[in-house]
Amino acid sequence: MDFTGKVALVTGGGNGIGRATSVAFARQGAKVMVVDRDGDGAQATVGIIRQNNGDAVAVTADVTKVADVKAYVKAAIETYGRIDCFFNNAGIEGKLAPTTEYDEAVFDAVIGVNVKGVFLGLRHVLPEMIRQGGGAVVNTASVAGLVATPGMSAYVASKHAVIGLTKTAAGEVAHQGIRVNAVCPGPVDTRMIHALEEQISPADPAAVGARYQAAIPSGRYTTVDEIANMVLFLCSDLASNTTGGQFVVDGGRTATGGAVTNPVRQ
């Protein structure tokens, strides 16, 4: 997976999965535009890449604001001349609550980042890729885009929507040499999963983590690097006719229905 001479743009690149994927792209030779509303986080990711002799630039942007999205696209074109790989990844989890009690403002915020942010990214990056005559996009959905997690109506709806956006865009731009796929992580060891553990049990989040991980056939959360590997594969020429797909990386959790007890594994 050689990305020498390629340009990758990563939203949510200031932390977690986005940071690991930015670093992985750079390690494989890509120049990386790291986009995040957390400017310090984006700058820290750039620092890691430069320490390893890579090439990266940070842009502070809120993916829900069209002016910011246009600005990050412009910055990428002005700095690096093109966008070969677009990891459309920024997302938020919202609050845990039954649908009957779900806060309307939180619902709007989750849909704003996870759906509108992903849409705006596609809306403004794809024209550049069309102009160039090719490119690869990976949108971050989730296993919550495939199955429900009770208590997460906004998040589940938003990630199902990401899969809808992925399939729609894939069909629209395939003949222009552009591929659009979705990665569907299960629980990944980042701030987000630990924030959810804490929402479920502020007194003992570690116990929630242990229970969650026991429900995963591999016995553990996925690492950020394991998601980065899938994203790089989907952006690489190895995936040259792969488009419109949803790629689960979850240690077997979705396949087994997320059963909490596993009588087979001792």
Binding ligand NAD by CB under 6 A: which of 73, 154, 161, 193? 193
The rounded distance, in Å, linking the Cα atoms of 266 and 253 is 17
Nearer to ligand NAD, 151 or 185 (CB): 185
CB of 140 to ligand NAD, least distance (A): 4
- Within 166-185, which residues bind ligand NAD (CB under 6 A)? 185
- The residue among 227, 231, 228 whose CA lies nearest residue 251 is 227
Is the backbone of residue 5 left (phi > 0), alpha (psi -120 to 50) or beta?
left
- Our CA angle for 236, 239, 240, nearest 5°, is 95
Stretch that binds ligand NAD, among 84-92, 128-136, 169-177, 251-259 (CB under 6 A): 84-92
The rounded distance, in Å, linking the Cα atoms of 243 and 220 is 29
- Within 8-67, which residues bind ligand NAD (CB under 6 A)? 11-12, 14-18, 36-38, 41, 62-64
Stretch that binds ligand NAD, among 51-59, 89-97, 206-214, 258-266 (CB under 6 A): 89-97
Binding ligand NAD by CB under 6 A: which of 7, 85, 173, 188? 188
Binding ligand NAD by CB under 6 A: which of 8, 90, 154, 234? 90
Instruction: Specify whether the CB–CB gap between 216 and 189 falls below 8 A.
Output: no
Size of the site for ligand NAD (CB under 6 A): 29
- Within 204-243, which residues bind ligand NAD (CB under 6 A)? none
Number of alpha helices (DSSP H) and beta strands (DSSP E) in the chain: 9, 7
Whole-number Cα distances in Å, 193 to 108, 196, 207: 21, 5, 13
Nearer to ligand NAD, 142 or 153 (CB): 142
Is the backbone of residue 52 left (phi > 0), alpha (psi -120 to 50) or beta?
alpha
Nearer to ligand NAD, 136 or 152 (CB): 152
Instruction: Specify whether the CB–CB gap between 205 and 240 falls below 8 A.
Output: no
- Within 98-157, which residues bind ligand NAD (CB under 6 A)? 113, 117, 140, 142
Longest dimension (CA), the chain: 56
Stretch that binds ligand NAD, among 70-78, 96-104, 167-175, 190-198 (CB under 6 A): 190-198
Nearer to ligand NAD, 140 or 153 (CB): 140
In the set 72, 80, 102, 155, the catalytic residue is 155
Neighbours of 260 (CB within 10 A): 9
The rounded distance, in Å, linking the Cα atoms of 188 and 166 is 21
Q: Is 155 a catalytic residue?
A: yes
Which residues belong to the active site? 155
Residues in touch with ligand NAD (CB under 6 A): 11-12, 14-18, 36-38, 41, 62-64, 89-92, 113, 117, 140, 142, 185, 187-188, 190-193
